[in-house]
Amino acid sequence: MPKIRKVLVANRGEIAIRVMRTCKELGIATVAVFSEADRSALHVRTADQAYLVGPPPSRESYLVQERILEVAKQSGADAIHPGYGFLSENASFVRACEKAGITFIGPPAAAMDAMGEKTRARANMIKAGVPVVPGSTEPIQTPEEAREYAQQIGFPIMLKAAGGGGGKGMRRVEGLHDFDSAWRSAKSEAMSSFGNDSVYIEKYLEKPHHVEIQVFADQYGNTVHLNERECSAQRRHQKVVEETPSPILTPELRAKMGEVAVKAAKAVNYVGAGTVEFLVDVHRNFYFLEMNTRLQVEHPVTEWVTGLDLVAMQIRAAEGEKLPLFEAPEPRGHAIEVRVYAEDPARNFMPSPGKITHLRVPGGPNVRDDSGVFAGFTVPNFYDPMISKLSVWAPTRAEAIARAKRALSEYVVKGITTNIRYLHGILSHPEFVGGDYDTSFLTREHTALLGSEDTQLSEVALLASTLHAFQRDQKRAKSLPSAGAGAGDTGGRISPWRLALKNRRR
């Protein structure tokens, strides 16, 4: 197959930049697409060319297949990398690329049909003899049918989007009393995230670990797994912290899960990067959950411990090259990734869009920050609020935790609220440090992870803000014409500075 010369990255933010960096190293030109909300975004500045694709809502811009393909033709791109989310697991888009003569850097449409649609993937795995979490093997059409099925398998249950992953369109339901609202919100979020509101039901397992296996395949049937990632630190079913190796897996269990993951990929003639996700119960039994037919957000931790560039491997697989390895590499050291979000953990993780007035990212040995923002950039409120992924590597897990905490302590973002302090709380919590944390960890320890407010720092902040206001008022007063008041006369008012000191003494 011919070498790829120019790649259109059908995504935004940090993942678009991440793909573009590898393309530049390979000598491949890049094309960015952007919505009106992303005109000044960093991925637009990073690419060799950039094209507007529509208004801010993703369904009118990043999800419009026809417009993306039109830009590919206009720019002369001969390949499209979808990143993750948006069109990355859309089989109809893959077919449209093939019809247009454009290489899709990802699995073939048939494999995506088989595994990208979650209920079909479950049915395929059941046929292949892979243990799966109890649940429906087809999308459920009506709330009445869904309620009846939920009662049959027993609460609690999970409502899950059939057309995509990443925690979108997923709701835990405890009983009939909250079923209807969860059904509506799950379908609505699934539609806005994937353009597909199909939902299915799974039995909720108590205190499971979420462990996924990275797989990779070429066009000649060669498939290998690249070890696991522990993803149990989740909030609202969306991963917040990931690490590899998993602290709960033995070499024997890793090999067994890897073998099943490779079997799953081969069963659908998979090509490229994919992730087979499992739930592991307290007895260390594992169950197939789903397969994500794309690059994962947390792929950097796998790159840290294997020394591989997964995006470069994706591109080479799309060009028809064979895999550079044919057996799982031995994990080298330990890697941890935390997701930095523009959100306020103290206000129920409310998104915090706005202008970043100051930004200092961490550095030092074996620290990596995949980011899509810069000082002066305004974080829009139309998309996922993740602004960067901070990952670290160290020889041991304890050293990796210490390095991640140090890096977080260097991270400074002003102008918006972030979850940096919350992430530091996770890494410092005894349950995380101990390594045996499950998917309910963040919910269960929510109050402890928020931490207590430092009253002395609060007083310093109050005094500093009051002093700033006083100095500002003094400057304004000097710029106004005199009204006959004597020097230093405040018109009988108490200065904000003195008022703050008076309140403090009280």
393 neighbors 412 (Cβ within 8 angstroms): no
Sign of CA dihedral 350, 353, 357, 360: positive
Q: In whole angstroms, give the CA distance from residue 161 to residue 168.
A: 7
Question: What are the angstrom distances between the C-alpha of 370 and each of 9, 25, 86, 163, 382?
Answer: 16, 16, 19, 27, 20
Is residue 49 within 8 Å of residue 64, measured between CB atoms? no
Taking residue 395's Cβ as centre, other Cβ atoms within 10 Å add up to: 11
Helix axes 310-318, 299-306, angle to 10 degrees: 100
Please give the single-letter amino acid code of residue 504: R
Give the Cα-Cα-Cα angle 88, 91, 97 (nearest 5 degrees): 80
What is d(CA 32, CA 252) in angstroms, rounded to the nearest whole number?
44
User: Residue 229 is encoded by which pair of tokens?
Assistant: 């990632």
Alpha carbon 428 to its chain centroid, in Å, reads: 22
Q: Which pair of structure tokens corresponds to residue 222?
A: 């060669």
426 vs 431: CA distance, rounded Å: 9
Catalytic residues: 294
* Burial environment of residue 87 by CB neighbours within 10 A (0 to 12, 13 to 18, 19 or more): buried
Task: In whole angstroms, give the CA distance from residue 423 to residue 386.
Answer: 13
Spatial contact of 14 and 372, defined as CB atoms under 8 Å apart = yes
DSSP state of 78: -
d(CA 422, CA 431): 15
Say if strands 103-104 and 79-81 run parallel, antiparallel, or are unpaired.
parallel
